Chains A and B, each alone.
Chain A
């Protein structure tokens, strides 16, 4: 479980996160939703330690991450996998080298064992015969799948996904969403996903947190999000003609 307690973060005097407290459960897909600029990416970057919080604490299974230095954080970081918006694959490496990279840095396995594990992970995300391709030769969906394979290669306990569906068509988005959910359940990972895609919310939203103007406005799941009486959440959920039309038919 990951727990963020009373998190505050500001940039140049501009408060981006204001007293956010939230829990992310193990074996569940925990979604952070909100408009662009609401603070959800900053919250995720604070949790993984890419930004330091101004105030507040972050616990990874009761280990106080926010009070650790870079060296002390290494152990927890090696339990993390992260899927970035653009994939963040290393341009100079091909697909198999990208997936092998964290293994070669953190394990003492032989090269053959590392390659075997990397190939297993690529197979798990339905990517085969792409080993020798470079990131520039991959489609958006393939990049995300390679990034997922790289993230799960070290058997992470925590998986973070920053807008995994951005730039993808609805069908590929669905494939990625289902893949993330399957991996979360299969390996009992604590998965945190930043998204503003309502399809993802309805597909994999085990736990949902709605962030608005840097504050936590609502918590729930995919079963009760459509019936909430929270005005700001409803504005977000029913922002499009399509969702408004669907609401009328309910």
Chain B
């Protein structure tokens, strides 16, 4: 039964994506909507991403410093550890999970409210492909803006780590920078950004699906919002494993 529900929903999701990825009715209107979505999805998330990144970077530095017991272990390993953990895992995955909560719930509740107040029906009656009109700008905006957010997050988390390291005296600036530079592979950043693009697509499309397909009243909007966050998070974790295996093996 659970399997049938999953396949039903997966089929519905694919059908929705088929409706979404068609030529926009009017290119000019699409670009206006896209800019608005970039603002709603990306710009409004700047502060929360910046705040979390700086503090997690700082915590990573302090925890690494406390866990270095051996005097033979060089202090530059603090910078090295912070860089590796932030670029490879924290920024693309954890920040995407946070965005799934913030952006995913917002997309699902916006579309859900439009569905129950018949605004989506009004678009359909006018002859507008509502899925394309409402969802495509959200998906494109997420895929464009999330890599920028994650790049900013990488920079700020490493900066936060440096601030914490220097202010607490665990590491000096030259040592921290040495750690950042040692054994650095630019491919790691590429891998991280590829993951981010996949996660951005998952967050926006799954949340849109959950909001677009609700029926009922206000209670359903809340439920759809919760389901959007939970499902997006599960798929982010799942795809994290798959992409890591594919891109790093």
Q: Does B244 contact A (CB under 8 A)?
A: no
Q: Is B39's beta carbon under 8 Å from chain A?
A: no
Name B4-52 residues within 8 Å CB distance of A.
25-26, 29
Which of A12-20, A29-37, A70-78, A187-195 binds B? A70-78
Query: Nearest residue in B to A147 (C-beta to C-beta)?
Result: B122
Q: Is the CB of B118 within 8 A of A85?
A: yes
Q: Which of B26, B118, B129 contacts A84 (CB 8 A)?
A: B118
User: Is B188 engaged at the interface, CB distance under 8 Å to the other chain?
Assistant: no
Bound: A82/B26 CA distance, A: 22
Given A77-B125, A78-B127, are A105 and B29 neighbors across the interface (CB < 8 Å)?
yes
Binary interface profile of A, 80-91, with partner B (CB < 8 Å = 1, else 0)? Answer: 111011101111
A106 to B133 alpha-carbon distance, docked (Å): 14
Interface residues of B in 118-150 (CB under 8 A from A): 118-119, 121-122, 124-129
B122 surroundings in chain A (CB, below 8 A)? 82, 84, 88, 90
Flag if B125 contacts A80 (CB, 8 Å): yes
The answer to whether B117 has its CB under 8 Å from any CB of chain A is yes
Q: Which of B117, B121, B124, B127 has the most CB of A within 10 A?
A: B127
Whether A50 is near chain B, meaning CB under 8 Å from some CB there, is: yes
Question: Any chain B CB within 8 A of the CB of A104?
Answer: yes
Number of interface residues of A (CB under 8 A): 24
Q: Does A48 contact B (CB under 8 A)?
A: yes
Contacts of A140 in B (CB 8 A): none
- Residue from B26, B117, B118, B127 in contact with A73 in the complex, judged by beta carbons closer than 8 Å: B127
Contact A104 to B29, CB < 8 A, known contacts A91-B113, A91-B119? yes
When distances are taken between beta carbons in the complex, the residues of chain B under 8 Å from A90 are 119, 122
Q: In this complex, which of A50, A86, A88 has the most chain B Cβ atoms within 10 angstroms of its Cβ?
A: A88
Q: Is the CB of A74 within 8 A of B127?
A: yes
What is the CA–CA distance of A82 and B118 in the complex, to the nearest angstrom? 11
Identify B117's interface contact among A82, A86, A102, A106, CB under 8 A.
A86
Beta-carbon contact of B127 and A77 below 8 Å: yes
Chain B min CB distance to A68 (Å): 11
Q: CB distance A77 to B119 under 8 Å?
A: no
Contacts of A88 in B (CB 8 A): 117-119, 121-122
> Which of B29, B125, B129 has its CB near the most chain A CB atoms (within 10 A)?
B125
A50–B124 touching, CB < 8 Å: yes
Question: In the complex, which residues 125-182 of chain A have their Cβ closer than 8 Å to any Cβ of chain B?
Answer: 160
A50 touches B117 (CB 8 A): no
Q: Min CB distance, A160 to chain B, in Å?
A: 8
* A120 CA / B109 CA spacing, docked (Å): 34
Q: How far is the CA of A48 from the CA of B121 in the complex (A)?
A: 10
Closest A residue to B126 by CB, please name it.
Answer: A102
Partner of A78, one of B26, B119, B126: B126
Binary contact readout B168-189 vs A (1 if CB under 8 angstroms, 0 otherwise): 0000000000000000000000
- Please, which residues of chain A bring their CB within 8 A of the CB of B117? 86, 88, 91
A88 to B26: give the CA distance in the assembly, Å.
Answer: 22
CB distance from A162 to the nearest CB of B (A): 9
Contact with A along B148-173 (1 / 0, CB 8 A): 00000000000000000000000000
How far is A89 from B113 in the complex, measured between Cα atoms in Å? Answer: 12
Residue pair A77, B129 in contact (C-beta under 8 Å):
no
Bound-state CA distance A106–B127 (Å) is 9
Query: In the complex, which residue of chain B has the Cβ closest to the Cβ of A77?
Result: B127
Question: Which residues of chain B have C-beta atoms less than 8 A from A80's C-beta?
Answer: 125-127
Task: Tell me if B26 and A105 are in contact (CB < 8 A).
Answer: yes
Q: Which A residues between 46 and 97 are near B, CB-CB below 8 angstroms?
A: 48-50, 70, 73-75, 77-78, 80-82, 84-86, 88-91
- The smallest beta-carbon distance between A54 and chain B, in angstroms, is 19
B236 CB to closest chain A CB, in angstroms?
A: 28
Query: Which residues of the partner chain B approach A85 to less than 8 Å between Cβ atoms?
Result: 118
Contacting residues, chain B, for A89 (C-beta < 8 A): 119
Cross-chain pairs A/B with CB under 8 angstroms, 16 sampled = A50-B121, A73-B127, A74-B127, A77-B124, A77-B126, A77-B127, A80-B125, A84-B118, A86-B117, A90-B122, A91-B119, A102-B126, A104-B26, A105-B29, A105-B128, A106-B127
Instruction: Identify 9 new A-B residue pairs, CB closer than 8 A, beyond the known A88-B122, A90-B122, A91-B114.
Output: A48-B125, A49-B124, A50-B124, A77-B125, A77-B127, A82-B122, A82-B125, A88-B118, A106-B126
* CB-CB nearest 4 A-B residue pairs: A77-B127, A88-B118, A88-B122, A74-B127
Q: B interface vs A, CB < 8 Å? A: 25-26, 29, 113-114, 117-119, 121-122, 124-129
